[in-house]
Each structure stands twice: as C-alpha cells, then as structure tokens.
Structure 1
C-alpha cells in the first residue's frame, strides 16, 4: 500500500503499534512514534529494555510480530515496509538508509581495504568509474579523520575508533536520509568516544540527517538527540524533548536513570 505525499508534509518514518515476541517473551510491545526529517531520536533504557529489538524491527533486520512501519520514499510515496520486495528492501538499506553497528566489524568487510569498504556503497548506487570512486572514498576518509595514505589498508589494521569512523564513512557516502545507530560509542575509551561523538554531531548537522540512535548512555543522548524515548520491559514509558526528559523526568524509572548519571 502506498500514498502520494509531498516530501516535506509528514514524518520520514512512522512506527505504529510495533510488537515483537519470541515465544512467550516480549521483545517490545505496542510501540508507536514518528521520526521527522532532520531529527535525531534517541531510544534509551537499560539492558533488556527492548531498545535493540525495536531498532532491528524498524530497520527491517527483524520482522515484527504485529504493527506497521512506514517510510517516506524519495518518490514522495509513504510505503509500508512490509510491502517491499526483497530487492527493494536491500536497495533501501544500501542507499537511502545507513546502519552503524556497535561493533564496527559487523558493519565492515574486514579483509578488504578501507577504500573498498566505502566504494562498495557507491557501486550500489551505480557508480562505476574507478578514479571517481577512489577520489570520493579519499574525500570521505578525510571527513572522518582517517589519513588518505590509509586508503589501501584493511580495517583489521585500524584501532577501534578508526574502524567506527570508517563504518560511518561507509554509511554516509551515499548521502542517506535515515541512519540507525546501535550503541555507536560502546566499548570505546572515553577520549575516543568524545572525538567520535563530536564527529557524528557535525556530520548529522551538515547533512541534515535523520537518526535513530539506541544508547544506554544518557550523556550521548543529550549530546546528539532532540527527542528521547525511554523504554522499560519492552514498552515506551516516557518520551519528549531530550532536555525536558533529562531535566524534568516524570516517570520514576526515568528519574532513576537520570539520577544514575555520574556528576561531571
């Protein structure tokens, strides 16, 4: 099912009543929210809250048990993602969407060069000129603070922070409109986290990206997002503007999360 809509008339992504169960266990239940063009939405909660299950459902990596997820395609139609064929879904994931994994090795081809990791995404949108692909890859490595002379090195030779920055370049080179991020700073040293977060914030702003980011770190959510969704036991228990939720949390669970943030 699809309907014509002006590109700026509504949300980019619309999630309605999404439930995912694993037998008797609930991953997430009756989750609804929208993501608007240029908006960064953080989904927060403790381990087991359902936030990663939700992210995998809305990015089509996991089929929900019930509910609908609709996306505003570039041609101006709002499509139910369940109606997409496999080829359409794969094309969307390679071009209009990005997915930044917590472990960069899950989002990179570790035994091909850094340049090839970026170039593969360009080839997915039809680029075939080797010189142009290499030049664009070099430019993007520079944008994510990786030296041009590392273009032929494999990611296995990179540090954790460099791998994550390469994964970001690989995702953003096709100028997607929506990027999903799953704990993108998890497992990195504090100084490396700070540098990566600054880079993400800059690129998101420059490119006008919409982002859905899953994190357990409320400081990350405050830095990157305009709006926050708090999950507990698979359900949304609080949502609103990020500063409002963090400065004036209404739900007791959110208050507990906020109280656990170390004093800076």
Structure 2
C-alpha cells in the first residue's frame, strides 16, 4: 500500500429520511494509518454518515471508493453484495457502541474471534483456538475465559472481545461508533488506552464517531464537526479543539473540560 495514496475516498455523499437531512454533500479522504473523528451532537448526522460510508446504509447520492489490497481504487457501488460482505468480514471492521450488536452472544468468546478467521479460510481448529487465545490476551481478557459466552462478561470485557473479533483478520480500516459509550469512566479510560495502543501498533485507519471530544482528542489525528447533516469544520484534531473557527464548534469545545 502506497501511503501517499488515500485508502478511502468519499465524494459528495448524501442521505435523506423523507424531508429530513441525514447527511448532505460530505466529501473527505482517509489515509492509511489515519484516525478521523466525526463529532457533533445527537442528531448531527455523524452516525448516518458512518453507516453510509461503511455500506450499512445506502446513500442516495455520492460515491465511496476503497483502495483494495492490489492497489486499485474500487467504488463500493460497483461491487456485488457478496464482495461487499466479504470486505466487511475481512479487510474492514465495525465496532458497535453496544457490543451485543457486534457479537454472537450465545457462543463462546473463542468462537466469536474464530468465526472471523474462518471467513478468510482458516480451517485448522487448533490454530484458530490458539489465535483466539492470543487475541484475548492482547485485549486484556483472561485466557481461561476463552470458552465462556459473552453474556457472562462485563460491558467493558464485551467491548474488548468485540475489538478482538474485528482485529483478528488484520483489517486495514475499522469503523467505530461511540466505542466507549455507556461504560463507566474508569472502564472507558482502560479501553481508550487499549484502543490507542492497538491502532498505533497495527497501523489501522479508523473512522471514529463520538460525541466525546476528549475521546476524539486522545485517539484521532483529524476531526470533522457535523451539524444538521453537514460538515461545518474540519482539520487537525488539536487545531480544531484548540482554535475552533465556527461558532458551533466553539460552543461544543466550551461545553467540556479541556483535557
């Protein structure tokens, strides 16, 4: 992968819900290894945008292009449904705010991780189990819990298991929708430290949706601020937070304690 070429190109993306704007005319590039935070209040359009970019929701206008491992830039709209599903199970990851949405709650922790490996052709049970155990350790889950179902885990452990499930196939792009939402402050801090280390170590590109500007500052290189479905400000994260130019961004920043 050429680091001088964008991994993802989003052009003039729009989505409407009847007469209401979900997102309107959004364009950006994402580079290999870059973390882009999309921030804004509830209803600003950030989750709609994330779902359109990740093909979980169909945009009504615009284009999303992804650079495949052979270096070609492919439009998602030109891919068949099976090809998009395979991409989402292998080269992409999606971390949900509610980990139950990204896990199979009735099978073991090890099976949750192993399923993603099987999607890319792994068939040796011993190797799959060993890899699952290794990933549980990497996300700070005791390896003796490998046969326990996620329903026996705490919220923070479920979120770490969901992260392991997503990263086991070595994706290059991971979408995160409020990954620390709903967790206690101490659990959030531990999860953020883990995420920051994994993103850096693995060179992941990430699109992160969050309403928490402290999370955006800690994890992201660049930030887009959304209001009423539109991107109203964008730039390097520290610049946007330390010197916001738009009145709406200034209001967001002033409403939190500086970190």
What is the TM-score of this pair, normalised by structure 1? 0.97
Cα 1:248–1:103 change in 2 (3 A) is same
Corresponding residue of 1:196: 191
Give the C-alpha shift of residue 182 in structure 1: 0.0
Matched residue SS, 1:71: strand
- The aligned runs of 1:174-193 (5 Å cut-off) are 174-193=169-188
- Alignment counterpart, residue 20 of structure 1, candidates 1, 15, 20: 15
- Is 1:113 the equivalent of 2:118? no
Q: Could you tell me whether the CA contact under 8 Å between 2:225 and 2:234 is conserved in 1? A: yes
- Is 1:253 the equivalent of 2:248? yes
Q: Deviations over 1:102-152 (max 9, x none)?
A: 000000000000000000000000000000000000000000000010000
Q: How many angstroms apart in 1 are the aligned matches of 2:221 and 2:24?
A: 24
Corresponding residue of 2:121: 126
Q: Could you tell me whether the CA contact under 8 Å between 2:26 and 2:231 is conserved in 1? A: yes
Q: Deviations over 1:202-255 (max 9, x none)?
A: 000000000000000000000000000000000000000000000000000000
Matched residue SS, 2:83: helix
Corresponding residue of 1:3: none
Equivalenced residues, count: 259
Give the C-alpha shift of residue 75 in structure 1: 1.2
Q: How many angstroms apart in 2 are the aligned matches of 1:263 and 1:190?
A: 16
Matched residue SS, 2:13: strand
Matched residue SS, 1:115: helix
- The aligned runs of 1:3-18 (5 Å cut-off) are 7-18=2-13
Q: How many angstroms apart in 2 are the aligned matches of 1:150 and 1:165?
A: 13
- The aligned runs of 1:28-47 (5 Å cut-off) are 28-47=23-42
- What is the root-mean-square deviation of aligned Cα atoms in Å? 0.8
Q: How many angstroms apart in 1 are the aligned matches of 2:143 and 2:190?
A: 19
Give the C-alpha shift of residue 262 in structure 1: 2.6
Gaps of at least 5 residues in structure 1 are 1-5
Give the C-alpha shift of residue 9 in structure 1: 4.0
Q: How many angstroms apart in 1 are the aligned matches of 2:27 and 2:197?
A: 29
Q: Deviations over 1:25-61 (max 9, x none)?
A: 1100000001000000000000000000000000000
- The aligned runs of 1:102-181 (5 Å cut-off) are 102-181=97-176
Q: Deviations over 1:131-185 (max 9, x none)?
A: 0000000000000000010000000000000000000000000000000000000
Displacement over 4 Å in runs of 4+: none
